[in-house]
């Protein structure tokens, strides 16, 4: 197929399509969770009220909370108990992960790409980014987890709303190796970072997340106050692709860029290698127990 034939959908037009698609069904819950993550005064009452606005979500949360993954000694029968036994931060992560996973169901694997592989990659990047923040910077890493989980949301938008053209692009990457972003720019006139950035702005995400999503392939383009944060997402994205948690056939950026960003964040390679191994073990546990997709 001709991979150079451009679809007649502008970035603005694609973002308009998002708002009338099934993708928009997660907007309220995801936006609410991100507001709670960024609000230091947020309470368990705020979280419970958010959950109550999405009744099907309650059953999903309880199923996950009662799974062997969390090894809770007693049955959790309501959200209040889940808050007590699992904790506020973990419950927020579960909610965000459950809602985001809804976008990645279905689809047929093509040329090594699948929505499941994309979701697997997104979860891997989220876990690595959060763990870097917790172990190296002594922070909770809630925004890092959220940015990692959503950094490639523009890809799933293209897959769902520009499906035939997107699959044509994925197939072309096997024949003509290049970065996904370069292929998107040639075919669409924009890449998944710009799509994700536009969606994040339209949905009123916090500024740090907007930059984390929009510039995860180009941290120097982010606002100065967010560049180190975005570099952490770049590092996590790069390392998980390198570890086999990718979703398309494409070459990685020059490794010197990765090394420079590692230096910029003051990270040590021995510590990073140990963190990557911890995350790999965590991901293997998640996949072994069948919790990759909700």
pLDDT tens by residue, 195-206: 999 999 999 999
pLDDT tens by residue, 184-223: 999 999 999 999 999 999 999 999 999 999 999 999 999 9
Q: Which tokens hold the place of 223?
A: 């606002």
Q: Which tokens hold the place of 204?
A: 């009123």
Residue 7: pLDDT band (50, 70, 90) is confident
CA distances from 226 to 211, 222, 233 (A): 7, 6, 11
Query: What pLDDT does 1 receive?
Result: 42
Q: Which tokens hold the place of 19?
A: 């708002």
Query: What pLDDT does 83 receive?
Result: 83
- Sign of the CA dihedral running 156, 161, 167, 168: negative
Interatomic CA distance for residues 119 and 125, integer angstroms = 10
Q: Which tokens hold the place of 237?
A: 């994205």
User: For residue 110, what are the β-bridge partners?
Assistant: 113
Domains in the chain (CATH in brackets) are 11-288 (1.10.3210.10)
Q: H-type helices in the chain, by residue range?
A: 11-19, 27-38, 44-52, 55-65, 79-86, 88-101, 115-136, 142-150, 153-161, 163-175, 180-187, 192-202, 207-214, 227-242, 255-264, 269-288
């Amino acid at each position: 197929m001709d991979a150079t034939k451009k679809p007649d959908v502008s970035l603005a037009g694609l973002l308009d399509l998002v708002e009338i698609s099934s993708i928009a069904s997660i907007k309220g819950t995801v936006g609410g969770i991100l507001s709670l993550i960024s609000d230091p005064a947020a309470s368990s009452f705020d979280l419970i009220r958010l959950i109550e606005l999405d009744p099907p979500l309650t059953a999903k949360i309880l199923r996950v909370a009662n799974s062997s993954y969390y090894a809770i000694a007693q049955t959790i029968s309501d959200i209040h108990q889940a808050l007590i036994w699992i904790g506020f931060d973990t419950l927020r992560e579960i909610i965000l992960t459950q809602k985001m996973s809804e976008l990645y169901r279905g689809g047929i694997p093509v040329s090594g790409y699948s929505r499941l592989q994309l979701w697997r990659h997104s979860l891997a990047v989220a876990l690595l980014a959060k763990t870097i923040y917790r172990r190296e910077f002594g922070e909770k890493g809630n925004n890092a987890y959220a940015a990692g989980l959503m950094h490639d949301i523009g890809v799933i938008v293209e897959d769902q709303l520009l499906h035939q053209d997107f699959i044509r692009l994925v197939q072309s990457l096997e024949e003509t190796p290049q970065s996904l972003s370069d292929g998107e720019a040639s075919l669409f006139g924009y890449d998944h970072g710009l799509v994700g950035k536009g969606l994040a702005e339209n949905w009123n995400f916090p500024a740090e997340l907007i930059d984390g999503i929009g510039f995860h392939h180009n941290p120097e383009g982010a606002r100065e106050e967010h560049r180190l944060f975005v570099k952490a997402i770049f590092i996590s994205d790069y390392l998980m692709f390198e570890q086999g948690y990718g979703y398309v056939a494409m070459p990685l950026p020059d490794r010197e860029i990765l090394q420079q960003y590692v230096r910029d964040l003051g990270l040590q390679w021995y510590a990073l290698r140990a963190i990557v191994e911890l995350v790999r073990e965590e991901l293997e546990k998640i996949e072994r127990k069948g919790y990759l997709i909700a």
